[in-house]
Amino acid sequence: MNNSRKNSLSNFQKKWGDIKKLKNMTLEQYTNANTPADTFTYWIEWGTRSLGSITGAYSIKAGIYAKVSKSKNDIGIQYMQDDDYLWYKSLGDNPNVAFKKVLTYIMDIINAVNDGDLSRIDKVPTLWRGYKYKIAFLYQLILNKPIKILPVFNWDDLSKFLGNTDINASMLDLYQKAIKKYNINSVDDAFAVADKIYDNNYTDAQTEYKSSTYNNPIEELDEKLRERLIKDLSQDERIAIFSSLTKEQQIQVFNNLDKSTINDILNMFDEDTIKPLKTPCLCFSIIMLMFGCYVLCISDINNIISMSWFWILWLPITAIIWILPSILKLTCSQLKQIFSNHKKDKH
């Protein structure tokens, strides 16, 4: 490892390397809005960033986090909050109970590393995958265990780098494949592969960290790094973040999309997308109209009256199919206008 990484690991080990001490960690030591740089969550994400990045995801990846503001904003139904903390509802009905469960999960991860049974890591619930494997990687180094976990914690990045086509492959499957393919026998070998994936694009965490935006899902970082942060999330994690945001925050996320992505959205509502529907709708409605006329011609007045259910269904269905392309065109125009307004606001 280079000196920067050695120093990061040494500092982390001094702070959190004592497993017995870790077992007695308090909620305030785990996450704290007043002194965040002293907390376990800070050291996992920011203090050891040169040892592998998990930055960019919402702070809920750690199971529970201390809120910067005491205000209670709208949150997803899977969360609970009080004045000081926000946490997953599945962890308990108060922050202390939730943290005790999180601490149990962290110790389960470390014990899995110590026992050499890494398959247990994926069975740890609630905590996000990248967060779990970052913890596992750090304690793999501290406990001086063989390199089985690499300093790459994003499934998409590692999978793409390896040319993996198995969507069911686990992180451990990808690690094993990388270790075998690149003959990884040491921590230096592991970082050599990580640097190939990320082009050695690790920067000083202290210059990136901003306490005012630490709990904000939209980090105020430069464009190149922001793209890295987006890549560091799995699809499930992106969905979890977006579903937990308020309407205003979701609009903010949209406004942070790049120009090409916005154009792709606009193209979804282009008039050309509904042209293929015009001919089938016209033909089907004509057939329905002819069928109705045929029924009228062959039926007497009593049969026509007795078939009132048929006419109740036939008339509106025929009309809807007839005007369906026009309805879609109008809807697409309105949606396109909405997204175009967002585009103008952004650019």
List, in sequence order, every beta strand (DSSP E) within the chain.
64-66, 79-81, 85-88
130 and 237 fall within a common domain: yes
69 and 108 fall within a common domain: yes
Question: What is the model's pLDDT at position 209?
Answer: 38
pLDDT one-digit tens code per residue, 167-218: 889 999 999 999 999 999 999 999 999 999 887 544 433 333 333 333 443 3
55 and 140 fall within a common domain: yes
Do the domain assignments include residue 152?
yes
Asked whether 336 and 248 are in contact (CB, 8 A), the reply is no
124 residue type, one letter: V
24 and 148 fall within a common domain: yes
pLDDT one-digit tens code per residue, 39-96: 999 999 989 989 998 876 678 899 999 988 777 766 777 888 898 999 999 999 999 9
Do the domain assignments include residue 259?
no
336 and 274 fall within a common domain: yes
Average pLDDT of the chain to the nearest whole number:
77
Question: What is the model's pLDDT at position 229?
Answer: 44
Q: Which has more pLDDT, 220 or 293?
A: 293
Most confident segment among 68-72, 145-149, 221-225: 145-149
Give the domain-ending residue among 215, 246, 277. 246
Confidence check: pLDDT of 102 > 60: yes
194 and 139 fall within a common domain: yes
> How much of the chain, in percent, has pLDDT values that exceed 90?
41
SS3 call for 85: strand
> How much of the chain, in percent, has pLDDT values that exceed 70?
65
Domain that holds residue 40: 3-246
296 and 201 fall within a common domain: no
- Taking each helix axis from N to C end, the angle separating 155-162 and 187-198, rounded to the nearest 10 degrees, works out to 90
Split into its structural domains, the chain has a count of: 2
The mean-pLDDT minimum among 132-141, 261-270, 290-299 falls in 261-270
The mean-pLDDT minimum among 31-35, 152-156, 289-293, 332-336 falls in 332-336
Q: In what order do the strands lie in the sheet with 85-88?
A: 64-66, 85-88, 79-81
Do the domain assignments include residue 261?
no
Question: What is the model's pLDDT at position 241?
Answer: 53
Question: What is the model's pLDDT at position 68?
Answer: 82
Confidence check: pLDDT of 127 > 80: yes
237 and 275 fall within a common domain: no
51 and 146 fall within a common domain: yes
Helix H segments across 120-219? Answer: 129-142, 155-162, 171-181, 187-198, 205-208
Asked whether 140 and 182 are in contact (CB, 8 A), the reply is no
Do the domain assignments include residue 257?
no
Question: What is the model's pLDDT at position 64?
Answer: 93
302 and 242 fall within a common domain: no
The C-alpha angle 340, 216, 94, rounded to 5 degrees, equals 130
Do the domain assignments include residue 287?
yes
Do the domain assignments include residue 253?
no
φ, ψ of residue 101 in degrees (nearest 5): -70, -40
Confidence check: pLDDT of 132 > 90: yes
Do the domain assignments include residue 162?
yes
Do the domain assignments include residue 258?
no
Question: What is the model's pLDDT at position 319?
Answer: 76
pLDDT one-digit tens code per residue, 231-276: 445 545 555 555 555 555 555 555 555 555 555 555 554 555 556 6
d(CA 331, CA 324): 10
Give the domain-ending residue among 246, 279, 299. 246
DSSP string, 204-250: -HHHH--GGGTT-SS----HHHHHHHHHTS-HHHHHHHHHHS-HHHH
153 and 235 fall within a common domain: yes
Distances, alpha carbon 170 to alpha carbons 2, 92, 135, 158, 197, in Å: 29, 28, 17, 11, 18
324 and 220 fall within a common domain: no
Q: Which has more pLDDT, 106 or 311?
A: 106
